[in-house]
Amino acid sequence: MRSAECGKYCPIQKKVTANRSRAAHSSRCKILRGNQRFFRRFSASTVSSATTCPFLSPSHSFTRSTQEDCQKELDRIAKALKSDKADVGKGPTLLAYLNEWLVEYGEPTLRHSTYVTYDGYFNKHIAAHPIARQPVGSVSGKMLQNFFTEKGKSGRLDGDEGGLSPKTLRNMRNALNIALKQAVFNGVIAANPVQGVRLPKDKKKPMRVLSRTEQSSLEKAVNASHEMCVQGIIVALYTGLRIGELLALKWSDIDLDATPATLHVQATLARQATPKEYDRDYEIIRHKEGQATAITVGDTKTSNSNRKLYLPQKARTALLKLKQWRDMMQDTFGNAWGKRRLCNYHTERRPHGTQDVFG
C-alpha cells in the first residue's frame, strides 16, 4: 500500500497545545490508496475553545472511491460541525434516537429476528446505562468505549456473574454503528462515534467433532430406537444441516429417486418472538393466542446457506424410512398428519415442562 500527503488544508483538523492555551490548525491530511479506494484520516480534538468535539476519538477515518469524494466528505463534516445540528447537548437522547431509528428504519428493513435482537440491545443493555440519557450529539467515542468495557466485565442481564462475550459485544457495536450512521446521514450528528470503539478479539474455541467410534455408536443407538423421528439425526449427521434447516424441510425439497438423491435447503424453522401477521420474512406455522413466541419458517440464515446437496446413501436410507413411516401415519390419521413437511412440529408436555419435538 502506497501513501502520500494530500497537500491540502483540512478545514476541521485542529490540535491543542500541551498547555491548552491555544489551538492551531494542522494542514496534514493523509490519503492512502489501496484496492482503488482512498483512505483519509483526520483529527478533530476541538471545534472551538469552548466546545468539545462530539467525535468518538481524537482521530477519525473513512474511505471513498475517489480523492474528490474524500474531500467532499471532509467538507460535509466541517459544515456539520459548524451547524446547530452538531452542537453538543442538542437533539434527542441516545435511547430516544435509537428507538426512533428502530421504528423508521429498523422495522421496515430488518428481519424480525434481527429487529428483536437490536431492540434488546437498545432497550435492555443501553437503557440500563447512564449513556442512554445523554443527548445523542454529546455521545463521544470515549463514552461508548467505557460502556463496552463495562459490558465486557459485568454486562450480563440474566443474573449470572461476568460480562458479555466478545461476539455479543461485536453484534451490539454493529447495531449501534448502523443506527448512528443514519444519524450522520440525516445531519443529527457530525460523525459516527462508534467507529472509534475497540473491542476484544473473540477467541474461537476448537470445534468439537465426533470421532469415528462415537459416530458409529450414535448410529447404532439411532437404528436400535423404535422412535422413527430419530432418523433425523442420521440425516443431520451426513448432511451437516442446522437443526432449523432440518425442521423446515418439505418433501418437495427432497428427490430420493434422482441419481444421486438430492436435498434442497432453502428455509429455516425457529421459535422466536411472534412476528406481525404481515411480516414479509416469516410464515407463522404454529402460534397459540396470548403466547409471546411462535414457530416460524423463513429464509436461510444467509444466501449462501440456500444450497443443493447430494445425499450420501445412509442419509437417503434414513429419509426413505421417514417417508415410509409418514405414508403409514397418513393412512392411519389422514391428511391431518400433514403432507408438506418432513417434520410435523408439535409440543409434548414432559414432567420438566414443555419441550418442542418433531415426529
- The pLDDT of residue 61 is 63
Name the DSSP letter for residue 273.
E
| The predicted structure's pLDDT at residue 343 | 61
Task: Name the phi and psi angles at 189, rounded to 5.
Answer: -130, 160
pLDDT at 89: 57
CA–CA separation, 240 and 59 (whole Å): 45
Q: Is the peptide bond before 351 cis (omega within 30 degrees of 0)?
A: no
Cell output for 214 = 462415537
Q: Identify the helix (H) or strand (E) that includes residue 180.
A: helix 166-185
State residue 339's pLDDT score. 56
Tell me the three cell numbers of residue 299. Answer: 429464509
Please state the φ and ψ torsions of residue 188, each to the nearest 5 degrees: -75, -40
Cell numbers found for residue 181 = 450512521
Residue with cell 448410529: 219
CA angle at 56 for the pair 54 and 62, rounded to the nearest 5°: 110
- Phi, psi torsion values for 355, nearest 5 degrees: -120, 135
- Predicted pLDDT of residue 349: 38
Q: Which residue has the cell 483519509?
A: 40
Distance CA 181, CA 211 (A): 47
Is the pTM above the cut of 0.75?
A: no
Question: What is the DSSP secondary-structure string of 97-155?
Answer: HHHHHIIIIIHHHS-HHHHHHHHHIIIIIITTSGGGGSBGGG--HHHHHHHHHHHHHH-
List C-alpha distances in Å: 85 to 2, 54, 92, 348: 37, 11, 11, 57
Q: Count CB-CB contacts under 10 A for residue 31.
A: 20
DSSP state of 228: G
Helix axes 212-224, 231-239, angle to 10 degrees: 150
Report the alpha-carbon distance of residue 109 to residue 178 in Å, rounded.
12
Give pLDDT, residue 21: 32
pLDDT of residue 135: 94
pLDDT of residue 226: 87
Compute and round to an integer the Cα radius of gyration of the chain. 27
Q: Burial of 62 by CB count in 10 Å (0-12 exposed, 13-18 middle, 19+ buried)?
A: middle
In degrees and rounded to multiples of 5, residue 315 shows phi and psi of -65, -40
SS3 343: coil
In a structure prediction context, what are the per-residue pLDDT tens digits for the chain, which is 359 residues long? 333 333 333 333 333 222 333 333 333 344 444 445 555 555 544 333 334 444 444 455 666 778 887 787 777 767 666 654 445 556 799 999 999 999 999 988 898 889 999 999 999 999 999 999 999 999 999 999 999 999 999 988 887 888 999 999 999 999 999 999 999 999 899 899 999 899 998 888 888 899 999 999 999 999 899 888 889 999 999 999 999 999 899 889 999 999 999 999 999 888 888 777 656 677 887 878 877 888 888 888 788 889 999 999 999 999 999 888 888 888 887 766 665 566 654 434 333 333 333 44
Predicted local confidence at residue 273, as pLDDT: 83
Stated length of the chain: 359
DSSP 37-106: EEEEEEEBSEEETTEE---SSSEEEEEESSHHHHHHHHHHHHHHHHSGGGSTT-S-BHHHHHHHHIIIII
Residues whose CB is less than 8 angstroms from the CB of residue 229 and which lie 6 or more positions away in sequence, other chains included: 322, 343, 357, 358, 359
246's grid cell: 432440518
Q: Say how far apart CA 180 and CA 136 lie, in whole Å.
A: 9
